[in-house]
Every structure is written in C-alpha cells, then in structure tokens.
Chain A
Amino acid sequence: MKATVVVRPKQGILDPQGEAVQGSLRHLGFAVDAARIGRVVDLDVEAADAADVRAQVERMCEQLLANPLIESYEIDLQENGA
C-alpha cells in the first residue's frame, strides 16, 4: 500500500527557506503573506491492512522521518492502483 508523509516545520519555528521563497514570490508580484517549506516522502509499504500501514508509518515518522522538536507530520494512505 502506498503512503504519503508530509513533514512540515512546526508552527512558530523559523523557516528561513520559506521566508526566502516568500520574498521571491512577492518580488514576482504575487501577494504571498507566508510560505513554509516541508518535505514529502512517498512510501510503498508491505502490510496486512490500512491500520497496519498507518501504525508502521507512524513509527517511521517518530523514529526517523520527522524530528519532533521542530517538525510535525501528516500521513495519507492510498490503496494500490488508486
């Protein structure tokens, strides 16, 4: 089953990359008040069912994919072929 993890800088955490991109977008004429940059991890996971996949991906996030001091994460599951 495929799973997508979105890792974001936590609210309130300074994101200099996002600020630089926001500045560039404003320079291009877009009225962008904020930009935050995170990371997307697409996974293909072997598991018995969706609950199992979610549990595994939760553990992946806690152990490796996100640093809880500075990052939050969201998990999205997709059935194969979807």
Chain B
Amino acid sequence: MTSPQPRIGVVTFPGSQDDRDALWALAALDAEAVPVWHADDELPDLDAIVLPGGFSYGDYLRCGAIARFSPAMAAVAGFAADGGLVLGICNGFQILCEAGLLPGVLRPNQSLAFICRDVRVRVERSDTPFTARCEPGQELVIPVKHGEGSWFYPEQALPELEASGAVVLRYAEPCNGSVADVAGVVNAAGNVMGLMPHPEHAVDPLLGSADGALLLASLVDAARDRALAVV
C-alpha cells in the first residue's frame, strides 16, 4: 500500500509572512500543503494545521490578540478540540497562547531588540507528534526572528506546568529572556504545539540547517498516521 500524502493546512492571516515558506517546506517533506484563508469559517478536510509566522493584523494590541478572533481560528479551535494536530510557529505560537490553546504568553524580548539569528534549542520530549523524529536532549539549530518571543508563565504555577511535560523545546543558549528558557510548549492533550524558532526556514542544508525538517517531518508522519487511521 502506498503511503498517502497527508493534507496539512497553512492559515494565512493579513500580515502573515511565512505562510509560503511553510507550504513549501511541508510539500518538500511529502505532505499535500493546503492554503487556508483567515476569513474562512470552515476548514477543508485536513490532517493537521500550521499557523505560520508573521505579524497578523499588524500585531496591534498584543501579538496574536486580534488574529485569535478570526473566523479561521474558531475553526482551528474546534479542530484542536477534536484532537486535530495544530502547530503554531512564531506568530502562530503567539496566536495559540492568546487563544488559550497553549499555556503562557509571548512578551517583548528582554533586550527589547528584534532577534534574527540561528539558535540552538534542546529537545526536552520526543514523545510528541511534533518531535518524534528527534532524540530527547538532542540539540537543533533553527533560526529565530522575533521581537516578542519572551515566553512568560507565572512563577508560582511553573513547576506544575513543567511537571506536566508541557515544555518541549528549550533554548540551549541565551535568547530572549523566556521564563525557564522555554522555546516551545505543547498542550496537555499533546496535539497542539507552539514554538518561536522557525523550522520551515531550516529544512535544507542550503538554508544553513536542516534541523527544522526533523520537527516538520514528525508532524507530517503524525498527520499521515491520522490520514491512514481515517481511511
């Protein structure tokens, strides 16, 4: 039996800028990449969804605060509630936090500077649909490019969240002032993840690193498993 191409949607908001790179990277990793428009209140038939990076709605008020109320996000929330796989990258992570689908919030970098460079991140968990191709403790080199990527969670509640296994990726070097160096988190059900680094910009050695492909290919694998389970 030939393995089917899983259908992975990428939502374009006004101000998204990494949607095309995400579509390209997913297609390169043998997924059928499906563009989704923010104003659509119904999703096409999908096996996973990616919320891309950018500056949705101008990042007005707080990053992601406006985008979370878009029609497509209501559909994404329903998709996630039904167990669907959702990955938020950078602005997508900010949107998922503002929507309450992931814990915490992204704040301005402690340095107040926009950070645009490769960073090393450590994989804390490989037992998620987004990191299955990685080893626990593995270091990945993936670029970040953000002004507001400092993840915050209340200090008194952090130990409980850490114990729950929510932290999937941690910066392995100083980056943006995130609490506990958190670079990526997953929800309690394990089907929604967000991260500030951009795996879609690191899927080919020509781009300086192919480590991002480990994360996206994990998602493609998991989406394919779901597509097969449904067939």
Q: Which residues of A contact B66 (CB under 8 A)?
A: 64
Interface check A70, CB cutoff 8 A: yes
Q: Which of A36-73 contact B (CB under 8 A)?
A: 64-65, 67, 69-70
Q: Are A17 and B105 in contact (CB under 8 A)?
A: no
B39 to chain A, nearest CB (A): 19
Q: Which of B105-121 contact A (CB under 8 A)?
A: 105, 107-112
Contact of B108 among A16, A65, A67 (CB under 8 A): A16
Q: Are B152 and A13 in contact (CB under 8 A)?
A: yes
Count, chain B residues at interface, CB 8 A: 18
Q: Are B111 and A16 in contact (CB under 8 A)?
A: yes
Interface check A20, CB cutoff 8 A: yes
- Docked Cα-Cα span, A17 to B111, in Å, equals 9
Query: How large, as a class, is the contact surface on chain A?
Result: 10 to 19
Q: Are A67 and B98 in contact (CB under 8 A)?
A: yes
Chain B interface main SS type: loop
Q: Which residues of B contact A70 (CB under 8 A)?
A: 105, 107, 152
Contact of A69 among B61, B105, B110, B111 (CB under 8 A): B105
Interface check B226, CB cutoff 8 A: no
Given A69-B105, A69-B154, CB of A16 within 8 Å of CB of B110:
yes
A9-40 vs B, CB cutoff 8 Å, 1 = contact: the mask equals 00001101100100000000000000000000
Interface check B65, CB cutoff 8 A: yes
Contact of A67 among B65, B109, B177 (CB under 8 A): B65
Q: Which residues of A contact B105 (CB under 8 A)?
A: 67, 69-70
Q: Are B62 and A67 in contact (CB under 8 A)?
A: yes
Q: Which residues of A contact B154 (CB under 8 A)?
A: 69
- Docked Cα-Cα span, A69 to B151, in Å, equals 11
Interface check B79, CB cutoff 8 A: no
Q: Are B110 and A20 in contact (CB under 8 A)?
A: no
Going nearest first, the 10 A-B pairs with the smallest beta carbon separation are A69-B105, A16-B112, A16-B110, A67-B105, A70-B105, A70-B152, A67-B62, A20-B112, A64-B65, A16-B108
